[in-house]
Structure 1
């Protein structure tokens, strides 16, 4: 009984310490984030290691001998992570993660080796949550021009923009790079109908302009951005475009009203015809009865 109480006591202590040491950080796709970590010891820090347990033995960042060591670094973090202060003043070994993507979400562990020690101690755990891409709904009419909004976050320069629809297969809606639109693998229905709202991409605005809308333009559009020094594109925005049928909602209502009016007129005409037919039959029956009555009363009685 005593041993069970001791075990429970230490479990509660360890869990409370872990809860205090664990921080939570939330970011949007494309933003730069700082994962906090600070060594409490007075001795200088000589090695800093950031890891994600779900990535196996490869690390997020390893800093030693006053430089970053990329030897066993996970590929997607190369050139995208650094220390907030390489001088590590006051034991600050916080991690800077640039241009985050949804795949960067996870639990990060900060380990530190101080001068005179041979052990890398776990001193902080940070849970990073990356919000899903923005989703918007836009409704327009055939023949109109429409703008699908998309804005890249963070501070890294944008070098390429891709707009695509998942239902179109490999062909993209727009691919913009090196100051021009590349029509190489563009879907034929979008050629000469799409452009960026601002090819200079001021304030990282990469919104799409779609001209002369057609009903088959309805679909789910994805905005992907490739930043400087990055080898892949990251999804940052989703737009659902709905193009109304020709005639729009008002035209459809008018058409329905016309149909209702026609049906009403037809019902009235059928009722009139049926009433006239019934009246004619009744008149015919009455005339026949009157004729019979006159025939019966015209002959004198037999006894006379």
Structure 2
């Protein structure tokens, strides 16, 4: 029984070693051919890829390209047949005319925060005995960032919030003197006298700003992830004018002081020169 137990433990160890070696040799665990791409929400991004450096002059009869993440297949194209993952529906493509010439780059439209991660591309080619073989082409690390900005406007002006993408579904507001946020707008809400969604553009306008509108505005997507953050200050334009006038006054006073010092220095030099002449 003891011998059987030892053999059983050895068999488990051997299995773990084999699995570990397979994981270490897989493209997902290797940094080879890894390219880093950075984008902000709502933009178009291109994940670069070329298959000729890996396949040489061998042109497949029908290019079969795959783009995957660690967990899922994002996009697959075989000849005229295409498949897109549900989260990327209508947002991803590999232009067929470029694919034949060797460019298998994946174009992602309207990129989202949730799109961030590692992507890998493969070309599926014919192997021995009519089998299919996946040839690793390119690894790409995609980083996606939200928009951040500070705005200063006067009471009575309009604040235009960019939603950046049709996937923005909610805007929350946090008063500068509060730690809690409240819903300001949800996609599908009707316009109000002070809040208006542009009929065509992804923009939300808050009309006739008040002091109470000062605070932080966050645009969120379907997953509750931040698309943008805007910190708003509401100040009278006269305040800015006073600051400007004060700065000008300080500059004028400083210049006058410098001129006075220069005049005194010149006068001192003349007196010293006169005394020196009398001595001679």
1:194 aligned partner: 195
- Deviations along 1:152-178, one digit per CA (max 9) or x if unpaired, are 37xxxx598743326444x3x23465x
Structure 1: gaps spanning 5 or more residues: 1-13, 184-190, 226-230, 251-304
2:162 aligned partner: 150
Gap change, CA 1:161 and 1:19, over 3 Å in 2: closer
1:69 aligned partner: 83
Match of 2:67 among 25, 39, 50: 50
Structure 2: gaps spanning 5 or more residues: 1-25, 175-179, 242-280
1:52-201 alignment, distance < 5 Å: 52-53=69-70, 56=71, 58-70=72-84, 73=85, 75-85=86-96, 88-115=99-126, 118-130=132-144, 132-140=145-153, 143-150=155-162, 152=164, 158=166, 162-165=170-173, 167-169=180-182, 171=183, 173-175=184-186, 177=188, 182=190, 192-196=193-197, 199-201=198-200
> CA contact under 8 A between 1:175 and 1:182: conserved in structure 2?
no
What is the aligned-residue RMSD (CA, Å)?
3.7
Match of 1:238 among 204, 219, 229: 229
Gap change, CA 1:209 and 1:59, over 3 Å in 2: same
| Distance in 2 between residues matched to 1:200 and 1:114, nearest whole Å | 48
TM-score normalised to the size of structure 1? 0.54
| Distance in 2 between residues matched to 1:89 and 1:174, nearest whole Å | 46
| Distance in 2 between residues matched to 1:81 and 1:28, nearest whole Å | 16
More strand by share: 2
TM-score normalised to the size of structure 2? 0.58
| Distance in 2 between residues matched to 1:108 and 1:96, nearest whole Å | 12
| Distance in 2 between residues matched to 1:100 and 1:159, nearest whole Å | 10
| Distance in 2 between residues matched to 1:207 and 1:37, nearest whole Å | 37
> CA contact under 8 A between 1:28 and 1:100: conserved in structure 2?
yes
Deviation at 1:92, TM superposition (A): 2.1
| Distance in 2 between residues matched to 1:103 and 1:30, nearest whole Å | 12
| Distance in 2 between residues matched to 1:159 and 1:43, nearest whole Å | 39
Q: Matched residue pairs, number?
A: 201
> CA contact under 8 A between 1:37 and 1:124: conserved in structure 2?
yes
